[in-house]
Structure 1
Amino acid sequence: MQGGAKVYVRPVILLLSATFILTIARALALPYLVVYFSQTFGLGVVDIGLAVGGALIVSSILGVYGGFLVDRFSNYRILLSAATVFALAFAVAFQVTSLVPFIIAIVVVNLSYAVIDIAVKSGIGFLVAPDKRGSVFSIKYTLTNVGYAIGPFLGMLFAKVSPGLPFAVSALIGLAFVVLYGVLGERIPRQVGSERSGDGFASVLVHLLSNYRLVCFTVGGILSAIVFGQFTAYLSQYLIVTSDPENTYHIINYLVTTNACVVISLQYLIGSRINQNNLFRMLMLGMLFFVVGLMGFCYAQVHVVWIVAMIVFTLGEIIIIPAEYLFIDCIAPEDMRGIYYGAQNLSNLGAALGPVLCGVALSFYAPQAMFYVLSLCIVLASYFYFIGSRRRG
């Protein structure tokens, strides 16, 4: 399959459609979790943060085992199963009225989405030639961002009818995808002939921990995700401390819109130029854009400076995401792509830790110090990327 000249064959298009459709379903409901937790269960801000962050952390850790399953079963079977669980979990979230079952349902939603994402990446790795994967990964990330742009808008419309309705609609979208993929999906063959194919999960974990490059890159990914994983959260924290709520609302709206426009318009143009030959140079360029963007936020006084800093920051984001995919694709054995992408998913731990770390920095130091702490995370991430890229094995 990889030798063919045509890249966007039907199996690849279906994998990309999984990203787009199920991202819309997820983004339709999850951005309103904070409001739903407050209105339905009466939770306070601290408890909501623990519930949302805890769900993300648990699903990220369990996602490693999801990657192990992706390597053991066909993509067709994994995608159908995970999408079915995704739809059922949203249906449960819509139906339950108790807090604990609701949180469990959200964990399952995040976990099944993570498994779907791993299966899509693994399928692209098998179906697409190495020199074309950068552009396909960039298309995938662009579709993810388009989904996150469309989903919350639709969710807002449904939430006006009923607070729980977005969960029901997400379940229906997930079910529609299951039907679509069940009819049109193709069984992508697994890699065969590997000595590790029969290893248990514990043995595979030992292998992962012994892979120096993977460990370095996972740590680097966690550190960089602290910076870009939930940037709206820590920027809101900063603005609340240094400004008033109305100004915070306006600036965050400008920044979210700017981020979405830059990603959608430039992701493919830039991401398609990233390949295994220039991978480390592009990684370092992305890190540089992050630091420049952070310093722009640090000293921004007017809206236009915030917007320019967001443009620069987003350039770093649209370089780092496909570069991370390509790095894992480069070092992963053919029969272990799933578990390697599952390990990469641990970078979500950084996204969960970001607002916590920034909250501590804002509590104990001058507000601008937060951006220096984040810049230090970028410097440390760059170091781990460097030693991981230079060492073999």
Structure 2
Amino acid sequence: MKDVSGELAVQGGLKVYSRPVVLLLSATFILTVARALALPYLVVYFSQAFGLGVTDIGLVVGGALIVSSVLGVYGGFLVDRFSNYRILLGAATLFALAFAVAYQVASLVPFIIAIVVVNLSYAVIDIAVKSGIGFLVTADKRASVFSMKYTLTNVGYAIGPFLGVLCAKISPGLPFAVSALIGVAFVVLYSGMGERLPRGEGVARPNNDFARVLVHLVRNYRLVCFTIGGILSAIVFGQFTAYLSQYLIVTSTAENTYNIINYLVTTNACVVIGLQYLVGSRINQGNLFRMLMLGMLFFVVGLMGFCYAQTPVVWVLAMIVFTVGEIIIIPVEYLFIDYIAPEDMRGVYYGAQNLSNLGAALGPVLCGVALSLYAPQAVFYMLSMCVVVASLFYFLGSRRER
């Protein structure tokens, strides 16, 4: 086994991206492609294969995301108790098997369970990658590595659906089979090249049981504040295409909705891929809160741009501003959690942060309610209020001493 501890002492320049770090980032990219290849077409597959209506599909997809997010806290607990190498291999194996089951089964309940397991496995892999980065990379370099991770995630989400379309044209269930094969390929790759990371001096595996860990998390004022702030901010950016589609359907035609959403998705992907690393590498422990507030400001300006947009050009400009907020917020949230997490509980803290996915699931629901009760533009004022309240919780958490 290669000793990587010596690499931790020298992390200037390219040494930041040592072999273990590159492998962790590769896990993010490869498994994101596998997930994005199949999951965007769940709505169509549920409809074609199982005859579900739109309302039932929304409940099933949203419910699967919520269940996997909650169970992800326990996944973080396991990351702290076992080596990253074993966790990544185990979770990736489960990821591949779940996709294989989804491809094979013809009954609704087993299929839903398989999708929950896919989302849960992916969440555990994501937690293990972030925990590994926290161990391997010094604090002053983590923002740039987290930004690179998020960039690769977005590249994966750009590539995956394109491959999914090609597979779905051959057979509706083929994307699930290909995702399973990609998962198997990663397991084979990582089992041969992955490295068992050594623990730092004086850092032991936690002996507390899960119940005690949960009590610790709930009592941690800063973590609670950051988690609530993360849930509220995820309402805004977690599934922005969903609530923008809802708004556009109400205020314009289906054709215009399709065209505008295409422009916005493309714009978002280009800005994230082009600017994420450039912006993220300028974030550090000394400017975390200032950058966070700047990101929130970009969100509000972008939302107000959406509110008053009448032409595609204005929509695109508003999306550029909105996306800059997104590429600031993501690494800042990672670093906040990284900063407050005890060395031996990094995984479970990231698992708690993963609860922000609850906000992503709630966003379209809240916006749908707002659209049914108020004038359409009220959606963006509601979302702006979420940004303001999230900023308040971030402020409260950042001002409390560790």
Instruction: Give the corresponding residue for 2:10.
Output: 4
1:19-60 CA-to-partner distances (Å, cap 9, x unmatched) read: 000000000000000000000000000000000000000000
Shift of 1:100: 0.4
Shift of 1:191: 4.9
SS where residue 7 of structure 1 aligns? Answer: helix
Instruction: Give the corresponding residue for 2:329.
Output: 320
Instruction: Give the corresponding residue for 2:371.
Output: 362
Shift of 1:3: 2.1
- Contact in 1 for aligned 2:80/2:205 (Cα 8 Å): no
- Contact in 2 for aligned 1:67/1:115 (Cα 8 Å): yes
- Aligned residue among 356, 365, 376 for 1:347: 356
Instruction: Give the corresponding residue for 1:87.
Output: 96
Instruction: Give the corresponding residue for 1:295.
Output: 304
Instruction: Give the corresponding residue for 2:193.
Output: 184
Shift of 1:392: 1.4
1:120-175 CA-to-partner distances (Å, cap 9, x unmatched) read: 00000000011000000000000000000000000000000000000000000000
Return 5+ residue gaps in structure 1 as ranges. Answer: none
Does 1:389 pair with 2:395? Answer: no
Instruction: Give the corresponding residue for 2:175.
Output: 166
1:295-346 CA-to-partner distances (Å, cap 9, x unmatched) read: 0000000000000000000000000000000001100010000000000000
Aligned equivalents of 1:192, 1:213: Cα separation in 2: 26
RMSD: 0.9
- Contact in 2 for aligned 1:222/1:346 (Cα 8 Å): yes
Shift of 1:193: 4.4
Aligned equivalents of 1:168, 1:315: Cα separation in 2: 35
Aligned equivalents of 2:204, 2:151: Cα separation in 1: 36
- Aligned residue among 123, 128, 136 for 1:119: 128
Does 1:232 pair with 2:253? Answer: no
Aligned equivalents of 2:395, 2:259: Cα separation in 1: 38
SS where residue 197 of structure 1 aligns? Answer: coil
- Aligned residue among 211, 214, 223 for 2:220: 211
Aligned equivalents of 1:331, 1:377: Cα separation in 2: 24
- Contact in 2 for aligned 1:73/1:190 (Cα 8 Å): no
- Contact in 2 for aligned 1:74/1:190 (Cα 8 Å): no
Aligned equivalents of 2:49, 2:16: Cα separation in 1: 47
TM-score relative to the length of structure 1: 0.99
Out of 196-205 and 306-315, give the one that drifted further: 196-205
Shift of 1:194: 5.4
Does 1:45 pair with 2:54? Answer: yes
Shift of 1:190: 3.4
- Contact in 2 for aligned 1:192/1:335 (Cα 8 Å): no
Return 5+ residue gaps in structure 2 as ranges. Answer: none
1:169-208 CA-to-partner distances (Å, cap 9, x unmatched) read: 0000000000000000000123574587100000001111
Alignment of 1:101-140 (within 5 A): 101-140=110-149
Letter paired with 1:286: G
Aligned equivalents of 1:237, 1:285: Cα separation in 2: 27
Shift of 1:244: 0.5
Letter paired with 1:4: V
- Contact in 1 for aligned 2:204/2:344 (Cα 8 Å): no
Instruction: Give the corresponding residue for 1:255.
Output: 264
1:200-225 CA-to-partner distances (Å, cap 9, x unmatched) read: 00000111111100000000000000
1:323–1:154 distance in 2 versus 1, CA, 3 Å: same
Does 1:156 pair with 2:174? Answer: no
Shift of 1:103: 0.3
Instruction: Give the corresponding residue for 1:373.
Output: 382
SS where residue 77 of structure 1 aligns? Answer: helix
Instruction: Give the corresponding residue for 2:317.
Output: 308
1:339-391 CA-to-partner distances (Å, cap 9, x unmatched) read: 00000000000000000000000000000000000000000000000010001
Aligned equivalents of 2:201, 2:35: Cα separation in 1: 34
Aligned equivalents of 2:202, 2:211: Cα separation in 1: 20
Aligned equivalents of 1:183, 1:115: Cα separation in 2: 20
Letter paired with 1:128: V
- Contact in 2 for aligned 1:191/1:335 (Cα 8 Å): no
> Size of the alignment, in residue pairs?
393
Does 1:143 pair with 2:152? Answer: yes
Instruction: Give the corresponding residue for 1:268.
Output: 277
Shift of 1:4: 1.6
SS where residue 211 of structure 2 aligns? Answer: helix
